[in-house]
Amino acid sequence: MSAQPPLVVSLPLTIYHALDLKQQLLDALAVTDELELNLSQVAEMDAAGLQLLVLLKKEAQRAGKRVRIVAHSQAVSSLIDFCNMAAEFGDPLVIPAHEAG
Amino acid sequence: MDEITSVYIQESREQLAEMESCLLGLEQNPDDPDNINAIFRAAHTIKGGAGVIECHFIEAFTHRVENVLDALRNGALTVTPTLTTLLLGCCDHMVSLIEVLAAGEAGPAGELQAQGEVLSAQVQGFLDGMAGGEPAAASELTVADREPAVEVENAGGIVLNDSWHVSVRFGENVMRGGMDPLSFIYYLASLGEILNIATITDAIPVAAEMDPESCYLGFEIQLQTRSSKADIERVFDFVRDECELRILPPNSRLSEYLKHIQELPEDSMRLGEILVRCGALTQAELELGLSQQKLALGDDGTSAPPLGEILVDHKVVNPEVVEAAVVKQAQVSDKKAREARLVRVQADKLDQLIDLVGELVIAGASANLLAQKSRQTDLVEATSVLSRLVENIRDAALQLRMVQIGDTFNRFQRVVRDVSKELGKEIELHISGAETELDKTVVEKIGDPLMHLVRNSLDHGIEPTALRLERGKPACGRVSLNAYHDSGSIVIEVADDGGGLNKEKIAAKAVERGLIQPGEILSEHEVVNLIFEPGFSTVDKVSNLSGRGVGMDVVRRNIQALRGTVDVASVDGQGATFTIRLPLTLAIIDGFLVGVNKAAYVIPLDTVVECIELKNLQSDRNFMNLRGEALPFIRLRELFEIPGNVPSRESIVVVQFAGQRAGIVVDQLMGEFQTVIKPLGAMFRHLRGIGGSTILGSGDVALILDVAALVQSVTQSELQRFSERGQSAPAMLSNNPFSQH
């Protein structure tokens, strides 16, 4: 079932779309063991978006599944970097300098 | 542009001016901590403001500068000439950036941007070269193995780091309120530098219970900043009621960290790890704290006393920390008090006030006149009180526009420093009379001419060091700026102790340019003042400072536009002195009213020395003996071709300007009179000897005499008569025939 193509998120990861996104992301997770997220289309991201990604990770962990973010847009990677969450997500991301050391 | 931005721009300009003068002071006193703090504060204020108005290009650049300044404060860097030069360069760049903002552009253009990058790289170079690591390095190691920023000895229980720990848990409804929690963190970052941040997501419930519009986030932040606790709290003002905020100041006691860990909802082990990861605590400190906590638990059974309480007994509050806090608070309240004493007023409102006061003066004079005519003693008394008050109001109103010239002078410290470096000369600037006041409009306009004169002195006046030593002078050249009041004008002198002007060269050049005839005999004074003629420069080599031959005549024109004069005196081998004379104010003067036939004239009272009777004149020459001194005079009747018979008794008003005296012959003396200067129309622009007009109480118009022009034309015409007779002119009269209006 891991042959699923990455889920391309095109909505902004913001509070305005949080309800829709939660459903969309959880639905996507429900049908696969290994969810791949392509966030390269995400133009905006705020704290609500960050929460959703964390939630998704936690849900996946609980169910023994995996979530991977395979592509980041600038907005996503800079927010994750700012919040120092790159390690948490464990995805290939431009690694911030202080983590590298 | 919105108001907050324009206020920011205005304030930043002031801060930068202060920063520059402090930086210059840094060279003289590299170890003065107050000075370094002042520089840091200026940079910090600018950065903070930039964050508020979201001007990121200023914020980013200033932040880098601030890092270096911080290192200076901590003693991690020492002041070197290269560093000061770099910081001055940064200061200049910030001025340019402010101008970019003022011009309403989105960011600096290519060249400026490149300049900023070069400066940033140099700044970084300094930081990298620092011994002991830079303060911005975001690594766990920074906490324990570095000297503390504040002068605190490693007293027991104090966690050695110089950054704040900010802990925040946002309430559920924050995002529903339309606020993005992250924007507060971004704003917090603008206060200083976030060394490390941990995002706490533990509160996010399972998917079914999770409302994506609720906020479950928290942050643990290590923030390096010079802001106060109140400033940090203010960041979260908007969500104060909906978040849990804890702020631990730098060098907090270990117990406070432990208390903090205990109070937070998350598991204390995990939080401890987070704090270690943030760089707030070291592992050893954490373990020490937690073991003591366990110990206490064991002793007391179930109810553990707050850990903080146990630890307080073991530690003493460091008195120095308290003292530092008190000093800081005093500084803040001082600054607030100072700001409260100042009011910003639009310049045109002030002008309007001065105009009104002018009208009041005229109306008062008219009332006074009528009262005197009515011969009612009570009325006369009342109006005389009134006119005294009007006089006071006038003086007070004019005083509002008066500013000290010191600020203008201080700008030249920088010019002298930079230019002397560029020229490889050692030159110091000496300032005196900085407290001399003059009208703001005059101050604004005198900057450029002064700049030119100072540069001229630096470039051409002061000799190269080798030559100075050869001449037996001290190696360090000296340029001095001086200002003082002199009979209703302000005098500004720019003097150097250089070689003086080369008179032969000037004379030769003047002949070459056809300004004078070969063989013409001029006094030394006349020769040196030739440099103010258009297109005159004796320098063989044009440098990029001055000497393009477009300078001195422009200087003179600018000064003449302010109703002033400029004059140079030079002594070979000892230096040259440029003297600028300017009227103190442009609006209202105390006048001395005189009459010729039926017309009234006003002589500025400040220029009047005395009045004497004109009698026993032996010759037809316009020249008399006043207590053994030659006094040239002019007859207003002749000058203005006024008809009518000469009365039997005439008076001479002796006036003085720029050290020269002359007499003005009038029919009658009418006494003091407050005069509002009304400029003459464009039609009369070329009139010589008349400075303006005014309205008398009776409604008549009186002309205001331009004493400077009159004195010069008197001395000059006398001089010419002497020359025609083949006599050499007395030195006193040849003083300044070339700088006339």
**Host domain of residue B271:** 142-329
Same domain as B443, residue B319: no
For residue A46, the chain B residues in CB contact (below 8 A) are 180, 182
When divided into structural domains, chain B yields a total of 5
3-state secondary structure of B564: coil
CATH of domain A7-93: 3.30.750.24
Question: What does the block give as tokens for B334?
Answer: 């001082």
Question: What pLDDT is attached to residue B493?
Answer: 92
3-state secondary structure of B6: helix
Instruction: Tell me how many degrees the CA angle B113-B116-B119 measures, rounded to the nearest 5.
Output: 155
For residue B185, the chain A residues in CB contact (below 8 A) are 82-83
Nearest to B199 among A15, A19, A83 (CB): A83
Tell which wins on pLDDT, B545 or B18: B18
Q: Which of B487-491, B497-501, B549-553 has the highest mean pLDDT?
A: B497-501
A70 to chain B, any CB pair closer than 8 A? The answer is no
Evaluated on CA atoms A74, A78, A81, A83, the torsion sign reads negative
| Surface-to-core class of residue B36, CB atoms within 10 Å of its CB (0-12 exposed, 13-18 middle, 19+ buried) | buried
Q: Rounded to 10 degrees, what is the CA torsion of B114, B120, B122, B128?
A: -150
Distance from CA of A22 to the nearest CA of B (A): 7
Distance from CA of B492 to the nearest CA of A (A): 57
Evaluated on CA atoms B451, B452, B455, B457, the torsion sign reads negative
Sheet with B650-657, strands from edge to edge, namely B608-614, B650-657, B660-666, B629-635, B623-626
Same domain as B573, residue B461: yes
Helices B406-423 and B440-456: angle between axes, nearest 10 degrees: 20
What is the separation of C-alpha B471 from the centre of its chain, rounded to a whole number of angstroms?
Answer: 37
Instruction: Tell me how many degrees the CA angle B627-B633-B637 measures, rounded to the nearest 5.
Output: 140
Give the ranges where B238-318 is alpha helix by DSSP (H): 254-263, 268-278, 283-300, 307-314
Tell which wins on pLDDT, B545 or A71: A71
Q: What is the DSSP letter of B278?
A: H
In a domain, B305, yes or no: yes
Indicate the pLDDT class of residue B679, thresholds 50, 70 and 90: low
The CATH code of the domain that includes B102 is 1.20.120.160
How many A×B Cβ pairs under 8 Å?
A: 71
Q: What is the DSSP string of B334-365?
A: HHHHHHHH-----HHHHHHHHHHHHHHHHHHH
Question: What does the block give as tokens for B316?
Answer: 């003493």
In a domain, B740, yes or no: no
Contacts of B63 (CB under 8 A, 6+ apart): B47, B193
Q: Rounded to 10 degrees, what is the CA torsion of B7, B12, B17, B22?
A: 130
Evaluated on CA atoms B584, B589, B590, B593, the torsion sign reads positive
Same domain as B311, residue B185: yes
Query: Is pLDDT of B350 > 60?
Result: yes
- Residues on chain B bordering chain A, Cβ-to-Cβ distance under 8 angstroms: 138-139, 170, 175, 180-182, 185-186, 196-199, 201, 204, 206-207, 210, 212-213, 215-217, 219
Distance from CA of A59 to the nearest CA of B (A): 7
Residue B373: other Cβ atoms inside 10 A: 11
A11 to chain B, any CB pair closer than 8 A? The answer is no
Compute the average pLDDT of residues B496-504. 83
CA-wise closest residue to B165 among B259, B241, B293: B259
Same domain as B69, residue B87: yes
Same domain as B183, residue B146: yes
Evaluated on CA atoms B705, B707, B708, B713, the torsion sign reads positive
Question: What pLDDT is attached to residue B83?
Answer: 83
Question: What pLDDT is attached to residue B482?
Answer: 92
Tell which wins on pLDDT, B736 or B367: B367
Sheet with A66-72, strands from edge to edge, namely A7-8, A34-39, A66-72
Query: Is pLDDT of B650 > 60?
Result: yes
Indicate the pLDDT class of residue B278, thresholds 50, 70 and 90: low
Distances in whole angstroms, Cα of residue A58 to Cα of each of A29, B170, B202, B219, B662: 11, 20, 10, 18, 98
Question: What pLDDT is attached to residue B272?
Answer: 64
Question: What pLDDT is attached to residue A100?
Answer: 39
Question: What pLDDT is attached to residue A2?
Answer: 47
A16 to chain B, any CB pair closer than 8 A? The answer is no
Query: Is pLDDT of B540 > 70?
Result: no
Same domain as B556, residue B416: yes
Indicate the pLDDT class of residue B267, thresholds 50, 70 and 90: low
Same domain as B114, residue B229: no
Q: pLDDT tens digits, residue range B59-116?
A: 888 888 888 888 887 777 778 878 888 888 888 888 888 888 888 877 777 788 888 8
In the block, tokens 């419930």 appear at B205
Question: What does the block give as tokens for B709?
Answer: 């022009």
Question: What pLDDT is attached to residue B323?
Answer: 47
Indicate the pLDDT class of residue B544, thresholds 50, 70 and 90: very low
Tell which wins on pLDDT, B133 or B242: B242
* Half-sphere exposure (Cβ direction) of B353: Cα atoms closer than 13 Å: 16
Query: Is pLDDT of B134 > 70?
Result: no
- Of B77, B101, B136, the last residue of a domain is B136
Compute the average pLDDT of residues B40-66. 83
The percentage of chain B sitting over the pLDDT mark of 70, rounded to a whole number, equals 75
Same domain as B594, residue B548: no
Nearest to A47 among B182, B198, B207 (CB): B182
The domain segmentation of chain A, as residue ranges, is: 7-93
3-state secondary structure of B163: coil
Tell which wins on pLDDT, B265 or A89: A89
Q: Are the C-beta atoms of B201 and A83 separated by less than 8 Å? A: no
Q: What is the mean pLDDT of chain B?
A: 75
Same domain as B181, residue B119: no
For residue A85, the chain B residues in CB contact (below 8 A) are 199
Indicate the pLDDT class of residue B740, thresholds 50, 70 and 90: very low
Question: What pLDDT is attached to residue A69?
Answer: 82
Question: What pLDDT is attached to residue B133?
Answer: 40
Compute the average pLDDT of residues A28-32. 86
A75 to chain B, any CB pair closer than 8 A? The answer is no
Range in B384-398, B405-419, B427-441, B575-589 the model is least confident about: B575-589
In a domain, B124, yes or no: yes
Indicate the pLDDT class of residue B309, thresholds 50, 70 and 90: very low
Instruction: Tell me how many degrees the CA angle B327-B333-B335 measures, rounded to the nearest 5.
Output: 105
In a domain, B729, yes or no: no
Same domain as B442, residue B510: yes
The CATH code of the domain that includes B633 is 2.30.30.40
Q: Are the C-beta atoms of B665 and B652 separated by less than 8 Å? A: yes
Find the closest chain A residue to B137 by CA distance: A98
Give the ranges where B103-224 is alpha helix by DSSP (H): 110-128, 181-191
- Of B136, B158, B182, the last residue of a domain is B136
CA-wise closest residue to B585 among B308, B247, B351: B351
Cα distance between residue B331 and residue B329, in whole Å = 5
Q: What is the DSSP string of B494-523?
A: EEE-S----HHHHHHHHHHTTSS-TT----
| Surface-to-core class of residue B111, CB atoms within 10 Å of its CB (0-12 exposed, 13-18 middle, 19+ buried) | exposed
End-to-end CA distance of chain A: 37
Contact B175 A48 (CB under 8 A): yes
For residue B201, the chain A residues in CB contact (below 8 A) are 51, 54, 58, 88
A79 to chain B, any CB pair closer than 8 A? The answer is yes
Instruction: Tell me how many degrees the CA angle B556-B560-B562 measures, rounded to the nearest 5.
Output: 125
Query: Is pLDDT of B402 > 50?
Result: yes
Contact A59 B201 (CB under 8 A): no
CA-wise closest residue to B354 among B403, B397, B402: B397
Question: What pLDDT is attached to residue B428?
Answer: 87
Compute the average pLDDT of residues B128-136. 51
- What stretches of B364-503 adopt beta strand conformation (E)? 402-404, 427-432, 437-439, 477-486, 489-496
Indicate the pLDDT class of residue B166, thresholds 50, 70 and 90: confident
Cα distance between residue B88 and residue B38, in whole Å = 14
A5 to chain B, any CB pair closer than 8 A? The answer is no
C-alpha radius of gyration, chain A, whole number: 13
Q: pLDDT tens digits, residue range A42-68?
A: 888 888 888 888 888 888 888 888 888
Nearest to A47 among B139, B180, B196 (CB): B180
Q: Are the C-beta atoms of B234 and B245 separated by less than 8 Å? A: no
Question: What pLDDT is attached to residue B406?
Answer: 85
Question: What pLDDT is attached to residue B709?
Answer: 80
For residue A79, the chain B residues in CB contact (below 8 A) are 182
Query: Is pLDDT of B648 > 60?
Result: yes
Report phi then psi at B398, rounded to 5. Answer: -70, -35
Same domain as B233, residue B281: yes
Cα distance between residue B636 and residue B706, in whole Å = 12
Cα distance between residue B176 and residue B174, in whole Å = 5
A84 to chain B, any CB pair closer than 8 A? The answer is yes
For residue B199, the chain A residues in CB contact (below 8 A) are 50, 83-85, 88
Tell which wins on pLDDT, B615 or B50: B50
Contact A15 B199 (CB under 8 A): no
Which ipTM was obtained for this model? Answer: 0.84
Residue in B175, B202, B211 to test binding to A, most A beta-carbons within 10 Å = B175
Indicate the pLDDT class of residue B282, thresholds 50, 70 and 90: low
Distances in whole angstroms, Cα of residue B589 to Cα of each of B213, B407, B680, B694: 72, 25, 16, 10
Report phi then psi at B368, rounded to 5. Answer: -60, -45
Same domain as B701, residue B647: yes
